[in-house]
Structure 1
Amino acid sequence: MPVAAARDRDGDGADAPGTELVPAGGDAVHEDVGELVGRIIGDEGADPRSRAGLLGRLARALADGARSAGVKGAATGRWITDTFANDIAPRIPVRDHATLVRHHKGIDGEDLADALVRNATNATTAVGAAGGALAAVQFTAPPLLLTAPAQIVAETVVVAAVEVKLIAELHEVYGSTAPGSALQRTSGYLGAWAKKRGIDPAQAAGSLTAALGTAAKAALRKRLMAVMGRHLTTLGPYLTGAVAGGTLNRAATTALARSVRTDLRARALPAGEPAPAPLRVIRAPAGESPSIGPVPAEG
């Protein structure tokens, strides 16, 4: 599938307010799922209404794909897993270390990692809130409830894409870029997202393949279905769905980033430098403050 330029039909790069999900006459508009996801996650300062409009269009495109996949493929999660792995993940825009530093006005190291996590959590929070707001509207218009499952799938793949992008760029910051070709790196970052862990380049060298194996696909499918289940909270009535969706997404993205950064910090030590010794509280005589010191070696 060729990579198309991310632009709106009128070329201005933004959706007009009030964009309808179903065009006049009810004819389906077959849009590129990978391009839509790229647009949603590519603009960190996107207007909420524009983001909601793109999310609605993505839901429409995914609904078309689900119908083509058939009930069994869609229900088991096989279709959405293949769509994410083959059509979306290879087109997630990942910036290299130099570009990240330039885009963040020269900050680097932990400060840069903090900024990436902050932007990602803001993005997944916004997606949950936008989806929840859309669901609130649908609860006031019963016929549109039929589109809710597609909305849930749309939220799921966008949040997954934001988090895979975050994982890939954190690896750049900590100097642990996955080895191999672009497709091999994508495969590695998908596996890292499914496991909520960082990649160890020493162990990954030569083991990453361009295509996900059966076990890796099963792990990816399980993770996607878990995220999809979390997004069912956005179907709460009125604004409760928006609040719940945004809050849960923020917490999940923050926890994922913490886990991956813990792995990457441990592997980012200079060659030959031992890991810092674990610390303990050292008791002090009465009237004095306790201090912190290394745990004594055994033997």
Structure 2
Amino acid sequence: MRTHEWSPASFLAGRLIEALPRIPVRDLNTLRRQFPGQGPEEIADHLVTGAVRGTEVVGAGVGSASALPTPPAMPAELAAGVLGTAAVEFKLIAELHEVYGLRAPGTARQRAALYLAEWTEGRGLNVTKPASAVSLMLSVRLRRELRRRLLSLTVRRVPMLMPFMVGAVIGASLNRYDTQRLAQRIRADLRARQVPWEGPPA
């Protein structure tokens, strides 16, 4: 019974771990060119606003949900909503690291491991070595916590399956609240370790 209960979350965790290293993340120079003359806090505000809008759209049930393979007994819309929300928030975390001068070391996969751990924990972590990021990705604890977080998101997003207008409003509201709260925690942790940057982008 326990294995069956966890199978949807295990499926989503596997899909997420596979997909995250391929999500395009803007580096600091790109972000500074896109928001000229603005400092870290101003750019971070723009990133949070964009992420909140993105997760609101996902929460409203907009997207190509029907194209996503799902485990038994999990509607495609629900799986797409959970994975879509996670992807938007992951990108936000990665770009906030750029803004605060704290880009994780290593390859895209190694950085993704750190940012995934932060998304799972809901807070900024101080991992400075690629090897530590890899161990995070492979750790039993992280995968267990990831499954737990995804299961929690799945339960919270059940209103997306209600009649469209009701489900869309509730889903958008839940995502807005969750993304704003996550952003506040991550920014506070990164701000405490911020590496200042000055001058024009390279």
- 1:131/1:234 contact within 8 Å kept: no
Matching residue within 80, 84, 90 for 2:16? 84
Give, in angstroms, the shift of residue 103 of structure 1: 2.2
**Paired position in structure 2 for 1:104:** 35
**Paired position in structure 2 for 1:218:** 144
Aligned residues: 186
Matching residue within 213, 220, 237 for 2:163? 237
Alignment gaps of 5+ in structure 1: 1-70, 135-145, 271-299
Give, in angstroms, the shift of residue 75 of structure 1: 3.0
Distance across 2 between alignment mates of 1:196 and 1:205: 20
> Whose helix fraction is larger, Structure 1's or Structure 2's?
2
Residue 125, structure 1, aligned to residue 56, structure 2: yes
> Secondary structure of the residue that 2:25 maps to in structure 1?
coil
Residue deviations 1:12-38, cap 9 Å, x none? xxxxxxxxxxxxxxxxxxxxxxxxxxx
> Secondary structure of the residue that 1:130 maps to in structure 2?
coil
- 1:116/1:166 contact within 8 Å kept: yes
| Structure 2 counterparts to residues 151-166 of structure 1, below 5 A | 151-166=77-92
Distance across 1 between alignment mates of 2:180 and 2:116: 18
**Paired position in structure 2 for 1:193:** 119
**Paired position in structure 2 for 1:262:** 188
Give, in angstroms, the shift of residue 237 of structure 1: 2.1
| Structure 2 counterparts to residues 1-299 of structure 1, below 5 A | 72=4, 75-86=7-18, 88-131=19-62, 149-202=75-128, 204=129, 206-209=131-134, 211-268=137-194
Give, in angstroms, the shift of residue 212 of structure 1: 2.6
**Which stretch shifts more, 189-198 or 215-224?**
215-224
Alignment gaps of 5+ in structure 2: 66-71, 197-202
Give, in angstroms, the shift of residue 131 of structure 1: 4.6
Amino acid at match of 1:107: Q
- 1:109/1:173 contact within 8 Å kept: yes
| Higher Cα Rg, which structure | 1
**Paired position in structure 1 for 2:68:** none
Give the superposed CA RMSD: 2.5
Distance across 1 between alignment mates of 2:21 and 2:195: 30
Give, in angstroms, the shift of residue 104 of structure 1: 2.6
Q: What's the TM-score, normalizing by structure 2?
A: 0.83
Amino acid at match of 2:11: W
- 2:122/2:186 contact within 8 Å kept: yes
Q: How high is the sequence identity, in percent, across the aligned residues? A: 41
Give, in angstroms, the shift of residue 84 of structure 1: 1.0
Residue deviations 1:118-177, cap 9 Å, x none? 000000001111359x9xxxxxxxxxxx99711100010010000000000000000111
